[in-house]
Structure 1
Amino acid sequence: MGTLDSTPVVTAAARCQWQMDYTMIYGSVRLARLHTRRQLSLWGWAGDQYDATVIVSELVTNAISHGRTVGHLLRVQLAILEDDTLRIDVSDPVASFPHISESPQADAGVEDERGRGLHLIRALGGDLSWFLREEGGKTVRAHLAP
């Protein structure tokens, strides 16, 4: 659990998917949460929609904090797979994942507001991976069972 795998996880085919690009500013975190809640409600996804929204929020915050590049956007993609798993992809233009070989939360204290996002995602049941994109940058992926 201390590291993330850097190869994309092969998953079931998507039954439905949605994506949107966002400006890399912190105001986009709120928009991504709203759009995620709306989309999961429209689909009637049987999983915990609140947890899924928190996971999107954490991944978008990380992308903005660590992947912000002038003139580039971040992309959120949601997909419900044939096995009803929710796949959440957040892509940014930076091809590195700082400190990936370390446990990301090793030095985060109880009162810290930063440094615990990946741990929180795992605590909510998110299975995390990441991979480089052919067009540049990376995608951090979370799978959440219904």
Structure 2
Amino acid sequence: TDLPGGPALVGYAVPAPGTVLDPAALRESLAGRLPAYQVPARLVTVDALPLTENGKIDRAALPVPTTAPAGPGHRPPYDQRTELLCRIFADALSLPDFGPHEDFFEHGGHSLSAMSLVGRVRTLLDAGLSVGDLFTARTPAATAALLRGARTPHRVP
């Protein structure tokens, strides 16, 4: 579906009656069974899947995912560079805020938003960062640490 940050894979789950779904546990379970690109960027819990008159899932009637809430990785940034990186990550994903230890790809990041993020980092911080680096340094805090270790700034022609 199209989300504020662009197209993303959304998973809809119907918990068994009387149970409460733990999205983090479900995500972990899916990550253990599926390739990373097939793990939904967002998970939405519904009481039942809406059906058409023919008994098929009515995709148009599925609820639109809300902005991902701040999870356990959401803590206030602790230095100026990390704070700026948190804003850049949030902007790239069209989220209101982003914590220093939140994972870019777990919040719906994809190749286009990664390219946007890298471009903004290069422009605003005059620092060398590649899309490949983002797969290693997936959080603002990890990206800040990676950039602190960089020896020379990188200018894109």
The normalised TM-score by structure 1 is 0.31
Q: Which has the higher strand share?
A: 1
Q: Which has the higher helix share?
A: 2
Task: Determine which structure has greater relative contact order: mean sequence separation of CA pairs < 8 Å that are 6+ residues apart, divided by chain length.
Answer: 1
